[in-house]
Structure 1
Amino acid sequence: MAKPFTISALSRESGVNLETIRFYERSGLLPEPQRSASGYRHYAEADVRRLRFIRRGRELGFSLEEIKALLALADQPQSPCDQADRLAQQHLSSIEARIRDLQAMQAELRKIAGCHSAHAEHCRLLEALDSRSCCAHAEG
């Protein structure tokens, strides 16, 4: 067996900070580690790979519950991929909807940004937030 990793070494190798590692242990995403006689956590290379998997899943925006499901599938490599693909398709649809929402927000902000009013009472953004329209197109 290779020399076990301490939690600090695991953090360095996986790119996941210490508190997040402890959180993933409490959440069941990462199994409870072996302990040394003095109580130090000891991790294996498999834990590094698992944390990298989780980190990459989070970077792609998957929820912790989705990652749990993906980990369960990864732990059964002979199982069909259709469940993972369904999760990917659902996640993609969600991201596409968020992109549409962000584009709509961008369009609205473009309409009201660049106000050069000397007074806040005529500020386009404040008017839009307050649903006022007294000076919506006034420059000045």
Structure 2
Amino acid sequence: MGKGTLTIGMLASHADVNIETIRYYQRRGLLIEPPKPREGYRQYPADSVDRVRFIKRAQKLGFTLDEIATLLELGDGHCAETKQLALQKLQLIEARLADLNNMRNTIKALVNQCETGGGEMGCPIVASLGKADGMG
């Protein structure tokens, strides 16, 4: 094994992912697959750990793998373009939050309408979900 290099298993372990994740990132072009020597195992540069961790952190923030590929291509020195991608992601997150708030408010209203055990009128939650517009 070369100095400062890792096998795929070591890379996966250090980056806290499984080997299939490394292989998937390679297939997606996010991580370079080193050539395989005649004898032994492929050797990944030690900085591959940072790259895999970058990908995982970006995924946790909601970036897709295609967006992450763009971020990796841009790299340092392209702050305006990176900021634009982040702003687009922020707008999507804010829209999702608004949708989730609407869902929460609708379910709260349905729960508040619900009588203990349903009674003769039936369950308002089931009745509401059975209507065409879902909350009429």
What is the TM-score with the length of structure 1 in the denominator? 0.80
Instruction: State the SS of the aligned residue for 2:5.
Output: coil
Matched, 1:63 2:61: no
Equivalent positions of 1:21-36 (< 5 A) are 21-36=22-37
CA–CA distance in structure 2, aligned partners of residues 117 and 38 of structure 1: 71
Residues 115-134 of structure 1 correspond to what in structure 2 (within 5 A)? Answer: 115=114, 116-117=116-117, 122-131=122-131
- What is the CA-CA distance between 1:39 and the residue it aligns to? 5.8
Query: Whole-Å Cα distance in 1 between the matches of residues 37 and 67 of structure 2?
Result: 32
The gaps in structure 1 that reach 5 residues or longer are none
Matches of 1:93 and 1:39, distance apart in 2: 48
Q: Secondary structure at the match of 1:103?
A: helix
> How far off its partner does 1:113 sit?
2.6
- By how many angstroms is 1:130 displaced? 0.7
Check whether the contact 2:4–2:46 (CA below 8 A) recurs between aligned residues: no
Equivalent-residue separation in structure 1 for 2:79 and 2:4 (angstroms) = 34
Q: Could you say which residue in structure 1 is the equivalent of 2:108?
A: 110
Post-superposition shift, 1:118?
Answer: 5.0
Is the partner of 2:47 in helix, strand or coil? helix
Between 99-108 and 2-11, the greater mean CA deviation after superposition: 2-11
The alignment of Structure 1 onto Structure 2 pairs a total of residues equal to 129
CA distance in 1: counterparts of 2:107 and 2:32, whole angstroms: 46
Kindly tell me: are residues 82 and 3 of structure 1, through their superposed partners in 2, closer, same or farther at Cα, counting changes over 3 Å? closer
The whole-number CA distance in structure 2 between the counterparts of 1:126 and 1:17 is 43
Aligned partners of 2:39 and 2:127: how far apart in 1? 63
Which of 81, 84, 88 aligns to 1:86? It is: 84
How far is the alpha carbon of 1:47 from its aligned partner? 1.0
RMSD, aligned α-carbons: 2.3
Cα distance 1:40–1:126, how it changes in 2: closer, same or farther (>3 A)? farther
Match in the other structure for 1:46: 47
- Tell me what 1:97 maps to: 95
Residue identity over aligned pairs, in percent, reads 39
Unaligned stretches of 5+ residues in structure 2? none
Number of the residue aligned with 2:16: 15
Q: 1:34 touches 1:43 (CA, 8 Å); kept in 2?
A: no
TM-superposed CA distance for 1:3, in Å, is 4.2
